[in-house]
Structure 1
């Protein structure tokens, strides 16, 4: 029998995988940009827009949509598993530890949304585009932290991961509420029944993949058919997965699924999404609109300024009011450096831009997400390197 590894070791292993995932994600983005702006750009758009699937089931989606609605559900399933595990047995299982990243995530969603609405007020597109900068990219942000913030305590990584997972869950709820068109009650009922069967099988300790895979696929199809964005299926299934192992059980289903699916999420699902989402034609007109377009400016300011102000402001207010406690060993300056990583929206922000806008407006909004995320990542890297050096020079100083 294999000895079960401690949760802390598994958490560190997860972070290492996400670091690799961030690097792959960056490479996939570069491939998309180069391909979409090369002499072979026609092949890129043809592949992305090719329809696949039976139209009778309303599944004649483009390749890009299959990646966005299908493969990305795997990413949200893994993120949901991580959140469930943290809520039950991890850092978020203790109320005071859980409150700070949750409050920070809420502040990091509300302030960017309000700032984006304010900057873009009067533009009819802002009624949908305000939601674009609310999300934080887990893989990218953790990758930057691992590469540039090695001198910070491990609590910084726990805080960022917890914040990003809660943040992305909030963004998914926004997608479900704001970007749902027609709603099919029959399909929604089928999804609820399948989710109930999944929950029951978890309670009965059934482990057969021959049962779970069809249920997961059926749940995705039902959620897609009911009109809600299909990635919600991944989050719902994850939150119903059992976390605590039984006596004599090497790993719980939650941990076992994380181990098996995390490499597929970080190494396949998210990079493929980046390839089909980040292929933006970089023309003089696109660059000019990034500077002149109010929605683009609003999105960039929301990511770079709104995220930082929202996360830091809400965190310090919560600590000052004694609602929550600062993570162990983390100073206020460290918090600012980590909070800057919240502006790396990327994956979910690109998804929301894809849902919120069409045509040239969508391309400009995606360009704003890329620019805003890269600026936030570079500023965070500078701050993290400085904090790491300061801590190396003064190891006993928390500030």
Structure 2
């Protein structure tokens, strides 16, 4: 590739297809080609690894950060884990110190949040995202894009740390001083937080996109004035659905004559409840209690496999999974006490779940999933030749093997 051409990849968390359709002016001059991209079932901690390595969760094993593992929990011996009152953690500085303490004590260097998980649950949980996703590495044997670029001898830059403004300013500085390498990856996550609070077409969302566009205009204009051609790709992980219903799963289960964690253990995400059972009686009673709920459904084995959640590979993320319908949220859940305005983590087939791909170059009309971005955009322009990396899986009998 010519030294006067760079590839700029911009990830915007939460920029779904429906959100882009509400703001069709966004980056129209620089990336006029746009298409919807099917997401996967899960949250950003599943979608981002799938984008970065091109594989489904039962291959790379990143799906839900927390999973039931009472014998291997890194939090069991951490004195303050789950013991700092919520009222204190609502103070930003205290919460930052608390999370830094937990990360340091557990030896994590990736993204981490303890949310509202009580201590009795936290000490029975393990956390999968222990390493920074944006460092060159293999996810369960599959190279991420940064490892792929390094293997291919490409010069690259990844801007993933800090707030969006600081990352955009750094990109501007690199471009202005002609220091941008042939591959540059910019990770923007501020929009997602706004979409949890405001409608798609609201002023805060439009203002955020306008600010992104203004700073990217400056970067791209500066490169053009230097005679450097930039191939731009903008993509996302999922969309956002307006919340219209709440379900109190904990209250529904409280009436059962069962002990937790003795009979079963439940982890309540925002849009799905995941269960591990100690006996058949508990399993039958829990399944029967939720089976008649109009706001959700139990995922069948074949459905899980279709979503890249083969129980034999990622069963440790939930023996059984109850998924809510689009627009419904579990309230309270283990991440938050109150439902937000908008939420994601629903069936990928729903229109508000679709991600987006914007491009300076023409795109094919083929249907696309976020796992295709690795092969078609990051490492090769042709889908006919696969990136050459052999997976060496680290799980056995449905459980992660610590190495």
Report the TM-score when normalising by structure 2: 0.24
Report the TM-score when normalising by structure 1: 0.24
